[in-house]
Amino acid sequence: MSDINTGYLCLMTRPSEPLFYPKYNSEVFMDLPVHYLPERYQAIAESIKNRLGSVAKHHIVIEPVNVPDLSYATSIPQQGDFNLFSPAHRRAAGQLVADLIAQPDPKTMLSVAAYARDRLNPTMFQYALTIALMHRQDTRTVPIPSFLEMFPTRFVDSSILPQLRQEGFIAEQKERIAVDIPHNFTAAEGEPEQRLAYFREDIGLNLHHWHWHLVYPQEAPLEVVNKDRRGELFYYMHRQVVARYNVERFCHFLPTTTPLKNLREPIPEAYFPKILNSALNRTYPGRATNQVMSHVNRPGDDAVATILELETSLGRIKEAIHSKFALSADGQRIPLDEHTGIDVLGNIVENSILSVNLQHYGNYHSLLHSMIGFIHDPDNLYLESHGVLGDFPTAMRDPVFYRLHAQVDELFDQHKQKLAPYNDSELAFPGVAITNVSVQITSGKSAKNRLLTFWQRSQVDLGAGLDFGPQGNVIATFTHIQHAPFAYQILVYNETNQEKKGTVRIFLAPIDGVDGDQFLLAQQRRYMIELDKFVVKLHPGENRVIRKSDHSSVTVPYDRTFGRVDVSSMQGAERFQFCKCGWPDHMLLPKGSPEGRKFDLFVMVSDYEQDKVETGVLDDGKCNDSHSYCGLQDQMYPDRRAMGFPFDRLPTPNDHMIRDFSSRFSNMNRTVVEVVFTNTVIART
């Protein structure tokens, strides 16, 4: 690995520890110009170099360069909180991304970043540096540690940190044992929402949310933000999150999460996170039951608003949906049509810089996060920071996250309901018939159409995030949901005498809700979980398509989510950081139930000629394994159809049930599968 790549790794290791402090078992020393050091250490720079640099085997010399004026970024206190739901904080981070990307080469950017690192807020710096590394063509092979490695306290119970440090300091590397992270520790079993803690508080799930927003930042240079169908991806990724959460609720005999339609009503859900905000070295504040939003007046956090402002923004967004057009800043009517309407609407609701009219439509989604995030101290009387809902890497832990996004999804669905149902020519694939669909666990003997979930104990290395902590690996063990690997078998008959190309689309949906009544398709479509999407070649006659679950277009494998990135493990390696964006593989399936929860498995083969786009290639052999939620790097989204097709729109009146819909088209098939949960814990091998 080059000195430049190693230097960037040092920038991202132990982010609250000074950069000059030796990294990686004291083997690497960043040799900085004296004026690059924080002012406190400039007077003793020679002593630091003699004492700390002498023990390091490898010195990385940073040459001084002309550093841009970073005063805009120092407005966010170095030891304060950084909040991406704050427009001012987003602007500062976006400008820092722009300044880093503007550097002529990786070496110069490394020097600028080395100067900035110990002067700026650590969370903002790591956020901006990661985006810059991911989006520059000449730095994409730099290995980027996950946010878990940098700031582990935001993901695990802070009570284990003393144990981790003790184990690391006392025991030699080969003698260390793993420290156990408590499973489901935030509430007692008497709290019904606690049944879903394994989902909301899953480390991989929260890493997914953080990493998605790294790939799709709201504010940065236009070439970074303006990705193909970005607004639609915001809609679809969060729609899938809400659908998956509601399906998990059904598995626990809980009703769907209630959208936050009335912002003036008390919020019955309480949440006390019990994790540490590493920026402040204080726990995230909790929220008591039945708290009420009214306003937020915290100028220092760039959060000043009333409920009326939120309601005004919401009203204007609804007006655009019902009129089928949005107003641009110069008064132009932007159609919310079937082709680009959802993309325009997604950027408006999220309030990215791609919004067609920031002033008119406001900052609805982000401001709602902030207002609930500060509900415990809206006027800053008690000097409390935001709750977990006000922070990207922690927001999905809170039950209200799903109520908030259920309400946002209602907005998007109002738009979708105004579109005409798909016609037969859009749905059919003449000459192609799916004759049979089944699914089976790939290890051992098992019945067809029966899938298995269970608990798994896995390990993660948290040593890189323990500032001034022990050197080397410090391992923690955590428990998470997992499924047995499985494979689909799809029999497709090509009735023509020519080879055809199709897109296989696989969805899973609950058959009924907690009341036991079977869903109509108009209801069920909102709970459709996308499991996979891939391209197949169909030769004339019968085709037997086998697809393994770990090849899903939705998920990223365990190692990409949790594997540690450091100098020793990444020698000579090249990794596309974009590929870390994706749903965690261990959460591909819903939990099911001990008795076996039944689901509809829907498979469709659509005509690739209607699906293909010019530069989005599903089978390019590179970073394509989680494109459903994340798209492809530097390419168009690899599917011309609407995300969620064919279930993003209402069905025709004749398609009452999914069996009515699938039976009308030979290129569709449906079968019933069962997901059985076994309450056992299996260690990852």
Residues marked as catalytic: 350
Interatomic CA distance for residues 467 and 481, integer angstroms:
30
Element at 307 (helix H, strand E): helix 307-323
Task: Determine phi and psi for 473, rounding to 5 degrees.
Answer: -80, 135
Which H or E run includes 59? strand 58-61
DSSP string, 358-383: HHHHTTHHHHHHHHHHTTTSTT-TT-
* Separation in Å, CA 361 to CA 209, 219, 229, 414: 24, 17, 20, 17
Return d(Cα 212, Cα 217) in angstroms, integer.
8
Contact 502, 605 (CB under 8 A): yes
With a CB cutoff of 8 Å and minimum separation 6, the contacts of 431 are: 494, 495, 496, 500
Q: Which residues of 230-253 are buried (b: 16+ CB within 10 A; e: fewer)?
A: bbbbbbbbbbbbbbbbbbbbbbee
Task: Say how far apart CA 674 and CA 592 lie, in whole Å.
Answer: 8
**Tell me, what DSSP letter sits at residue 316?**
H
Bridge partners of 477? 180, 459
Q: Residue type for 631, please?
A: G
185: DSSP letter: -
Outline where 543-624 has alpha helix (H).
Answer: 558-562, 608-611
Q: Give the C-alpha separation, 203 to 456, whole Å.
A: 13
Neighbouring residues of 484: CB distance < 8 A, sequence distance ≥ 6: 441, 442, 443, 446, 451, 452, 453, 454
For 19-43, the DSSP string reads TTS-BTTTTEEEE--GGGS-HHHHT
Q: For 592, which DSSP code?
A: -
Structure tokens at 428: 């059919």
Tokens of 48: 């630091």
State how far the Cα of 369 lies from the Cα of 206, in Å rounded to an integer.
16
Contact 582, 633 (CB under 8 A): no
Of 565, 502, 642, nearest in space to 24 by CA: 565
Which residue from 280, 268, 267 is spatially nearest to 384, judged by alpha carbons?
280
Please tell me whether residue 451 adopts helix, strand or coil conformation. Answer: strand
Is residue 426 classed as helix, strand or coil in its secondary structure? helix
Residue 334 near residue 328 (C-beta atoms within 8 A): yes
| Tokens representing residue 405 in the block | 């996004």
Parallel/antiparallel/unpaired status of strands 668-683 and 450-461? parallel
d(CA 169, CA 469) in angstroms, rounded, equals 8
Name beta bridge partners: 599.
510, 673
Q: Strands of 192-348 (E only): list them.
A: 276-277, 282-283, 295-298, 303-306, 325-327, 333-335
Contact 471, 172 (CB under 8 A): no
Contact in structure between 210 and 392 (CB atoms under 8 Å): yes
Best CA proximity match to 20, nearest among 69, 60, 70, 74 = 60
